[in-house]
Structure 1
Amino acid sequence: MQADTRADVFGDIFVVFLGLGTLVGVVVVAYTLYNAYKYRDTDQPKDDSLPTLGELPTGGKGGKKLFLSFGISAIVVISLVIWTYGMLLYVEDPQDEFEQDPIEVDVEGNGFAWHFEYENGVEATNTLNVPADQPVAIEVTSGDVWHTFGISDLRVKADAIPGEYDETWFMAEEAGAEHEIKCYELCGDFHSNMVGTVNVMEQDEFETWLDDQLTLDITIETEEGEAVTNVTDEDVQVELVHQNNDEYDADLEYTRDASDFEDGSVTIDEIEQGGEYELTITFEDDEFETIEDTIGITSPAGETYTIGDTAEDSDDDANGNDNETDDEADDANNDGGEN
């Protein structure tokens, strides 16, 4: 059995309160109208046993009716409070009811925008993609001032306070639907523009989208800006390593060689975790200078690198510069000696 969504829970509470309130209202109004009709003023002589104005009743069943009405009311109210409290406890922590593990997303309000980070390091701004019929656990905070993250359609609201973290969850049922995200805390001049969108996808579509976010395209080109189409002749080696590789169970290290290139480009698309990566591109026999770079991969990324002088030419240039510097120093010393 699929766990209820937050909207289901609050919808059930609303229906119960509305139904019970309507029932009580109908009973009270009907009983009032009945007594108004029963004890209406007529021309018939009044019963001498009835109390007159200002006289307290001395007997009858009025007391029993009063206590009975109070008893029924107490039972109804207490039962309603207990049931509602139980439903709200489910809203606060429904983990045991979930058939699937929740998707965890960190939410940060900053710069009048909503920033999202998924478990695998994928990041997005103002657009939150989620799968249908799967719980989403969010942890909300702020990077600047007080905000309130809210999705009214899904009955979600959480305070975003700098230095604090508010946890909540939601579940969207209809794939293809879009829900508006708003800030419900007056946070500054652009408060009304602090909006976003929840896109609900099919499970397979969401998993494909999440995997496609962690890809890196690498292109090697000449100084003239042309792709190196004969890179396979250069015997190139590409190595991509996560900066914090030791912190993960999986080995976040990926390699490519010349056979993987096509028209000077290569794609690394099996990246499992986003974050900072160290990229190293080396060429056989040091034909070209080794390329080293640090790349942040939290969404589809592409990098282009230019190969120019060979490593040997660069060393010669460096040596030539050193010799030129030495000659200039000797000239300066000679001039000093002449003075």
Structure 2
Amino acid sequence: MQVQTRVDVFESIFQVFLALGTLVGVVVVAYTLYNAYKYRDTDDAKTDDSLPTLGELPTGGEGGKKLFLSFGISAIIVISLVIWTYGMLLYVEDPQDDFEEEPIDVEVVGDGFAWSFEYENGALERGTMTVPEDYPVAIQVTSGDVWHTFGISDLRVKADAIPGEYDETWFIADDADEDHRIECFELCGDQHTQMDGTVEVLPEDEFETWLDERFHLDISFEDPEGEPINDTGDLTLELVHQENDEFDEDLAYSYTEEDFDNDTISIEDIEQGGEYDLVIEFEEEEFETIEDELTITSPSSETYTLGEEDEDEDEEDDDNDEDEENDEEADNDDEEGGDDE
């Protein structure tokens, strides 16, 4: 069974209310016109026991049967409409049991008059939310500063963004050729009108490719003059997630010189975003070991300068030698001054 989107649900409610409202309006207006014509004033007075007389309270005809029938039909229509609408709104609130696939979880944060989106695997985007076509997306909305309201009018999505709290909702975008505008529906500050973004809808296979490429990391080397280094000799590279113990899979990656191309490597094996510890060790003594902390949440590249640390150490050694010579000269001057006395 095809899962209804939020747009489908609210369109159905609107169409039912419009159809019933039109039907009731036509019936009421038609019945009013009929009675106005039937009981119009003519020169020929008719003798009819059912006609009201001056000063007599109307009974609705036939002992009030018409009045009872009209109220009964109206009550049935209204109660049925309320029950059906309530059921549809319950589906909007929690349709999890009707989803054939597990929804994609996205955390939405409103902060600094902009929206950021963090996916289950740690990928982080700002300004643009990328989602698969015809696939449920579950979002948890919060704020990092003041109150906001996350809204996508085209997809009938609205959720409060409150600091320290999470408001959960969902949506399904069913057209990969159409983007949707994200807005803030809460007056949040002087740049409120500029707090917008875009929902980009991709076919499911393209979305999977896009999500896998979020953690593409390029690493290269250069000398202190900024020239690329293409021969560092044997080396080993270790990349370890700082919270490795919290995941079922081992998020530690190892590479050697054979994995490099002209001392440049493109790492595409990373499956989880977050904070990583990077260690690169060289067998050549002229290059110092590189230790760094990387935040990997989107495609990035790092270029490390080799040999600079050695030069800095030489400069420090020269400075220390000069300081020692100055200290010796000062001591000698003190000794000579003491001898003169």
TM-score, normalised to structure 1, is 0.93
Alpha-carbon contact 2:138-2:170 (below 8 Å) kept: yes
Question: What is the identity, as a one-letter code, of the residue corresponding to 2:289?
Answer: T
How far is 1:237 from its partner?
Answer: 1.0
How far is 1:37 from its partner?
Answer: 1.2
CA 1:222–1:48: 2 relative to 1, 3 Å: closer
Alpha-carbon contact 2:224-2:308 (below 8 Å) kept: no
How far is 1:275 from its partner?
Answer: 0.8
Aligned to 2:86: 85
In 2, the alpha carbon distance for the partners of 1:187 and 1:116 equals: 19
- Equivalent residue runs for 1:45-84 within 5 Å: 45-47=45-47, 49=49, 50-57=51-58, 60-84=61-85
- Equivalent residue runs for 1:1-339 within 5 Å: 1-47=1-47, 49=49, 50-57=51-58, 60-231=61-232, 234-284=233-283, 286-308=285-307, 325-336=323-334, 338=337
In 1, the alpha carbon distance for the partners of 2:253 and 2:236 equals: 11
Q: Matched residue of 1:213: which SS?
A: helix
How far is 1:104 from its partner?
Answer: 0.5
CA 1:143–1:305: 2 relative to 1, 3 Å: same
CA 1:182–1:59: 2 relative to 1, 3 Å: closer
In 2, the alpha carbon distance for the partners of 1:223 and 1:76 equals: 81
Q: Matched residue of 1:225: which SS?
A: coil
CA 1:221–1:58: 2 relative to 1, 3 Å: closer
Alpha-carbon contact 1:154-1:170 (below 8 Å) kept: yes
CA RMSD of aligned residues (A): 2.1
Alpha-carbon contact 1:180-1:197 (below 8 Å) kept: yes
CA 1:67–1:48: 2 relative to 1, 3 Å: closer
How far is 1:262 from its partner?
Answer: 1.2
Alpha-carbon contact 2:257-2:263 (below 8 Å) kept: no
Q: Matched residue of 2:17: which SS?
A: helix
Query: Any gaps of 5 or more consecutive residues in structure 1?
Result: none
In 1, the alpha carbon distance for the partners of 2:63 and 2:331 equals: 123
Q: Matched residue of 1:51: which SS?
A: coil
> Across the two proteins, how many residue pairs are aligned to each other?
336
Alpha-carbon contact 1:122-1:214 (below 8 Å) kept: yes
In 1, the alpha carbon distance for the partners of 2:273 and 2:115 equals: 19
Q: Matched residue of 1:35: which SS?
A: helix
In 1, the alpha carbon distance for the partners of 2:320 and 2:11 equals: 79
Question: What is the identity, as a one-letter code, of the residue corresponding to 2:299?
Answer: P
Question: What is the identity, as a one-letter code, of the residue corresponding to 1:260?
Answer: D
In 1, the alpha carbon distance for the partners of 2:88 and 2:143 equals: 29
Q: Matched residue of 1:33: which SS?
A: helix
Alpha-carbon contact 2:215-2:268 (below 8 Å) kept: yes
How far is 1:162 from its partner?
Answer: 1.2
Q: Matched residue of 2:20: which SS?
A: helix
Question: What is the identity, as a one-letter code, of the residue corresponding to 1:244?
Answer: E
Question: What is the identity, as a one-letter code, of the residue corresponding to 1:84?
Answer: T
In 2, the alpha carbon distance for the partners of 1:150 and 1:270 equals: 35
How far is 1:119 from its partner?
Answer: 0.6
Alpha-carbon contact 2:282-2:289 (below 8 Å) kept: yes
How far is 1:276 from its partner?
Answer: 1.0
In 2, the alpha carbon distance for the partners of 1:252 and 1:294 equals: 15
CA 1:310–1:123: 2 relative to 1, 3 Å: closer
Alpha-carbon contact 1:221-1:264 (below 8 Å) kept: no
How far is 1:318 from its partner?
Answer: 6.2
CA 1:282–1:48: 2 relative to 1, 3 Å: closer
Question: What is the identity, as a one-letter code, of the residue corresponding to 1:87?
Answer: M
How far is 1:46 from its partner?
Answer: 3.1
TM-score, normalised to structure 2, is 0.92
How far is 1:29 from its partner?
Answer: 1.0
Question: What is the identity, as a one-letter code, of the residue corresponding to 1:212?
Answer: E
In 1, the alpha carbon distance for the partners of 2:140 and 2:334 equals: 71
In 1, the alpha carbon distance for the partners of 2:334 and 2:64 equals: 123
CA 1:328–1:244: 2 relative to 1, 3 Å: farther
